[in-house]
Amino acid sequence: MHPEPADTRTRILEAAVRVFAEKGYHETRMDDIVSASHTSKGSLYFHFPNKQEIFFGLIETFTGLLEARLKESLAAEQHGSEQVDSALTASLRLFTQYRTLAKIVLVQAVGLGAAFEARRRAINDRFSALIQGRIEKGIQDGSLPAQNAELAARAWVGALNEIVIHWIYTGVPDLETSVPEIKAFLLRSIGAGKENQ
Amino acid sequence: MHPEPADTRTRILEAAVRVFAEKGYHETRMDDIVSASHTSKGSLYFHFPNKQEIFFGLIETFTGLLEARLKESLAAEQHGSEQVDSALTASLRLFTQYRTLAKIVLVQAVGLGAAFEARRRAINDRFSALIQGRIEKGIQDGSLPAQNAELAARAWVGALNEIVIHWIYTGVPDLETSVPEIKAFLLRSIGAGKENQ
């Protein structure tokens, strides 16, 4: 029995994470992924015309997971401060759970040049827009002071990105135990009342 | 009369900015820089064994300028909030003045892969350490609340990096007129008293 196409695609992506982690993106050949995923060359090329598309598939997978967790946190009926808490906890746990994938997406990507950079900009814009919407809601309901929500959201994305990339390279700080400190920094930065910190 | 070696080096770097901006890093050949800098091939290779070293020379030039402006602001005898103001104004003005160079350093660099990424990490660490030192001083003299200064400094570097890169791509927000908003965000983030904002 042949597996469904969706399963093959997932199997290829999972194999690609292992191969990229072991050999690095540049050293990986499509044939390595054929072997590791126990699929056929034809099937691999049917799903992904080239290595870069596999990489983009991994980026989408990770970004999709992250976005789903964030939206879930933002949809919950709770106080702004608790939303930040649950969104941060869920996101940072995701990085810890998928450290290998996160490392490939954030670190190996630097060799991909302009094609990847455009993708990275688009992803940052997506997350920035999500955060901006939430800050604007806080300004409207009076729980946050008037401010440039777009600038603050972009700063959050940059700050979190830098913290996570530093963690990927060095292993510190431990992301999950740092949630309270990161949260305090972020809430202060947008002027969330002291009672929220 | 032959120019001094230091002048030749500077002339090469200035020519490289023009050539990289026009053709892009990857399309540029060493010969293009020989022509544009009105120097000899031998002289070019004496100063820079390859194109990547020229690129690293540009990164060092820009980073050096930025670091000098920051240290100058931090050395001035003034209130913490005024220091942040003058440091931000000086740094963001530098990006505006050297936009082409900043764009090459921050954007074209993405194609350089691991060699550049290590350099970028080291630069971020340097700026982060500078900021961390200043935040720690504030904690010690009581003008800032107790906090994880390293985390905050890293977050600042990430936030500013993201804001500047977005500006490089889109031209918005205007960096110099955004100083008050960026400053307010940063000061709030480290819990600088309201009177400082």
User: Which CATH number covers residue A35?
Assistant: 1.10.10.60
Co-location of A33 and A65 in the same domain? no
Co-location of A109 and A158 in the same domain? yes
Rounded CA separation A13/A104 (Å): 12
pLDDT value for A106: 82
pLDDT value for A117: 81
Is B40 an 8 Å CB contact of chain A? no
pLDDT tens-place string over residues A67-90? 999 999 988 877 888 888 899 999
**The CATH number of the domain where A126 resides is what?**
1.10.357.10
Q: For A26-46, what is the mean pLDDT?
A: 95
Number of domains in chain B: 2
Co-location of B118 and B29 in the same domain? no
Co-location of B87 and B25 in the same domain? no
Co-location of A59 and A23 in the same domain? no
* Residue ranges in chain B modelled with pLDDT below 50: 195-197
- Min CA distance, B6 vs chain A (Å)? 32
pLDDT value for A194: 60
CB-CB neighbours of B34 under 10 Å: 18
Co-location of A132 and A76 in the same domain? yes
Position A190 confidence tier, pLDDT thresholds 50, 70, 90: very high
With contact defined as beta carbons under 8 Å apart, do A171 and A177 qualify?
no
Is A10 an 8 Å CB contact of chain B? no
Q: Which residues of A touch B183 (CB under 8 A)?
A: none
pLDDT value for A62: 93
Co-location of B142 and B68 in the same domain? yes
Position A105 confidence tier, pLDDT thresholds 50, 70, 90: confident
Sign, CA dihedral A50-A54-A60-A63, equals negative
pLDDT value for B3: 52
Decide if the complex's ipTM is over 0.85: yes
Q: Which residues of B touch A150 (CB under 8 A)?
A: 173
Is A179 an 8 Å CB contact of chain B? no
Q: Do B107 and A121 touch (CB under 8 A)?
A: no
Is A110 an 8 Å CB contact of chain B? yes
Whether residue A112 is predicted with pLDDT greater than 80 in this model: the reply is no
pLDDT value for B140: 94
In order, the DSSP letters of chain B are -PPPHHHHHHHHHHHHHHHHHHH-TTT--HHHHHHHHT--HHHHHHH-SSHHHHHHHHHHHHHHHHHHHHHHHHHSSS-HHHHHHHHHHHHHHHHHHTHHHHHHHHTGGGGGTHHHHHHHHHHHHHHHHHHHHHHHHHHHTTSS-S--HHHHHHHHHHHHHHHHHHHHHH--S-TTTTHHHHHHHHHHHTT--GGG-
Is B155 an 8 Å CB contact of chain A? yes
Q: Would you state the structure tokens that stand for residue B53, as one six-digit string?
A: 């070293």
- Give the nearest chain B residue to A110 (CA atoms): B113
Three-state secondary-structure class, residue A37: helix
Co-location of A33 and A59 in the same domain? no
Among A119, A120, A123, A151, pick the best mutation site for testing chain B contact (most B Cβ within 10 A).
A151
pLDDT tens-place string over residues B103-139? 888 887 766 777 788 888 999 999 999 999 999 999 9
Rounded CA separation B197/B194 (Å): 5
Which of B161, B69, B87 is CA-nearest to residue A166?
A: B161
Which DSSP state fits A98? T
Co-location of A190 and A94 in the same domain? yes
Q: Which domain holds residue A158?
A: 55-196
- Give the nearest chain B residue to A178 (CA atoms): B151
Co-location of A30 and A125 in the same domain? no
The pTM of this model reads 0.91
Whether residue A118 is predicted with pLDDT greater than 90 in this model: the reply is no
Co-location of B19 and B91 in the same domain? no
Co-location of B156 and B187 in the same domain? yes
